[in-house]
Amino acid sequence: MTRRIVALGGGGMGGEANERMHRYLLDLTGRDHPRVLYIPTATGDDPDMIVAFYRWFPADRTRRRHLTLFHRDIQDLADFVLDHDLIYVAGGNTANMLAVWRVQGMDTILREAWERGIVLAGGSAGAICWFEAGITDSFGPTLAPLHDGLGFLEGSNCPHFDSEPQRRPTYLRCVSDGFPPGLAADDLAGLHFEGTELSEVVTAREGAQAYRVERAGGEAIEVPLEARFLG
């Protein structure tokens, strides 16, 4: 099985650009009517976000379900989660999401899903979580490093690189200070991994980019990555 993760820099559920990205994710499953699971833990299982998911992932092409963990009504999580072709993780509070996942055993289940070839995807918190580390606003209004991601992918991740003014300087400063180097993505840019290697960068919005952020001579440097526009 090909292990696939698509880490999105951010965006949302609605609009033409998001629809482009959703089609890309659905196509990766290789199925005509893929089974899609939405996990909104990072939002605190916000019902409005769940409604948005059902609105923007087309009913005529997918079989859609969601999983709430704050009001859990699924007994066998592994059996439920692994019965899907695409798992889409919401943005929100990354640190709180990871804590809940670990208490519920979702970290182990998601690794098994990955190993089985189920496509894992998500934006913002839904992107950071797959890496070893990331830049997050989980701990308050000031951005801060997070060191305990799931670690499926090496290094760090920074979403919203072009849309939130403090993301870029915070990430560069952290990497300069010894934070694990990694990848940054603008909103509506996707980092597609096959196994643990970056396969391609795709964008659903013209001008969106992704970068490899490395440390050289004690300073962080950005290396733009070639991207394929989905429009």
CATH number of the domain enclosing 72:
3.40.50.880
Q: Tell me how far apart the alpha carbons of residues 153 and 122 are, in angstroms, rounded to a whole number.
A: 14
The partner residues of 50 in beta bridges, in order of sequence, read none
Query: Which residues constitute the domain of residue 23?
Result: 4-229
Q: Please report the DSSP string for 107-134 in residue order.
A: HHHHHHHHHTT-EEEEETHHHHTTEEEE
Q: Tell me how far apart the alpha carbons of residues 172 and 215 are, in angstroms, rounded to a whole number.
A: 9
Q: What is the mean pLDDT of residues 85-99?
A: 98
Question: Is residue 64 scored above 90 in pLDDT?
Answer: yes
Question: 22, 66, 84, 124: which one is catalytic?
Answer: 124
Q: Please report the DSSP string for 2-20 in residue order.
A: --EEEEE----S-SHHHHH
Q: What is the mean pLDDT of residues 56-64?
A: 93
pLDDT at residue 195, as a whole number: 98
Query: Known catalytic residue: 160?
Result: yes
What does the pLDDT look like over 172-229, one tens digit per residue? 999 999 999 999 999 999 999 999 999 999 999 999 999 999 999 999 999 999 999 9
pTM score of the predicted model: 0.97
Question: Is residue 11 scored above 90 in pLDDT?
Answer: no
Residue whose entry in the numeric block shows the structure tokens 């098994």: 112
Residues contacting residue 123 through CB under 8 Å, at least 6 positions apart: 7, 8, 9, 10, 11, 90, 91, 159
Q: What percent of the chain has pLDDT over 70?
A: 100
Question: Is residue 14 scored above 90 in pLDDT?
Answer: no
Query: Known catalytic residue: 124?
Result: yes
How many structural domains does the chain have? 1
Is 161 within 8 Å of 9 (Cβ atoms)?
Answer: yes
